[in-house]
Amino acid sequence: MLLTQAEALGITPAPFSLDINLWKTREKAAPPADVTKLFERMFRGAMPGILSEKYDNLPVFYSSYIQTYIERDVRRLLGNVDALQYASFMRATAARCSQMLNVASIAEDVGIRLDKAKQWLSILEKSGIIFYLHPYSNNQLKRTVKAPKLYFHDCGLVAHLTRWTSAKTLEAGAMSGAFMENFVVSEIYKSYLNTGVEPPLYYYRDRNAKEIDIVIETDGKLHPIEIKKTATPTRSMTRSFGVLDKGSIPRGRGAIVCAVEKFSALDSDTLVIPAGLI
């Protein structure tokens, strides 16, 4: 089981929520993490063997992990699969983390049939490598997209597959925004899984390109969450939250999860949650 960063810091696990007391308590228990520290955590990943410092050579660890995964798990399910081709498939999938799923694009990159790409994605999901957020919609929100968004449970594996050599280059690179989103979504997702709760998570995107990174449906309300790499959040970042008001379920408190070091709020309806605390 992959750990949340809170668990790695020795903090009692709890499902993500918009409870102010949770974040005030957690802020006292966890050291502050700026954007550089966050990308160091992303780059190292969430594997217990890495977090326990049993293994310290990341390239060797992840290369061995992928080889063992293909030889043991994938071949048990698929038979004599081409290991190099499957590794290439994993790399093409990792390059699309935090994006809407496009199976045809992945298949074309790897040079495999569409049905094989779908089958291999199913194996990645069943193996706990990837997961999806499905789009939120209801009768009043009919213009939403249909495709799920693709995420990896472990950002360290994504960094290895997409060949980033350090946290510093990752932070400055073209995928930094995608990594930030994958990191936050996966941490929130694991916060539910690791406490035995089914993640009530969706995302929102309509045909006008209005998007909300996470929509949490709980206690009869919809809670919008925006994810940003910035340490200076603004109200303009929440402009898409209002689209949820057109639905039949009332909108509750929302949040911006970003690279700030201190918990705060933009107003009574919008919390500012440090990504280093989730």
Q: Which residue has the tokens 């660890």?
A: 61
| Average pLDDT for 36-45 | 97
- For residues 266 and 253, the answer to whether their CB atoms sit within 8 Å is no
| Average pLDDT for 15-38 | 95
For 153-260, strand residue ranges (E) read 201-205, 211-218, 221-227, 254-258
Residue 143 has a pLDDT of 66
Quick: pLDDT tens for 201-248: 999 998 888 899 999 999 999 999 999 999 999 999 999 999 999 888
| Average pLDDT for 181-198 | 97
Q: What is the mean pLDDT of the chain?
A: 94
Is residue 58 pLDDT above 70, yes or no? yes
142 by Cβ neighbours in 10 Å (0-12 / 13-18 / 19+) ranks as: exposed
In whole angstroms, how far apart are CA 182 and each of 39, 136, 140, 185?
12, 18, 29, 5
Question: How is residue 191 written in tokens?
Answer: 């916060």
Q: Which residue has the tokens 């999938």?
A: 93
φ, ψ (nearest 5 deg) of residue 20? -60, -40
Pairing of strands 201-205, 221-227: unpaired
Residue 261 has a pLDDT of 97
Q: How far apart are CA 98 and CA 151, in angstroms?
A: 5
- For residues 58 and 44, the answer to whether their CB atoms sit within 8 Å is yes
Quick: pLDDT tens for 101-134: 999 999 999 999 999 999 999 999 999 999 999 9
CA 114 remoteness from chain centre: 25
Q: What percent of the chain has pLDDT over 70?
A: 98
Is residue 17 pLDDT above 80, yes or no? yes
Contacts of 102 (CB under 8 A, 6+ apart): 96, 147
Is residue 199 pLDDT above 80, yes or no? yes
Choose the weakest-confidence range: 54-63, 123-132, 139-148, 180-189: 139-148
Q: How far apart are CA 149 and CA 184, in angstroms?
A: 14
Choose the weakest-confidence range: 48-57, 137-146, 147-156: 137-146
Look up residue 71 and give its DSSP letter. Answer: I
Contacts of 10 (CB under 8 A, 6+ apart): none
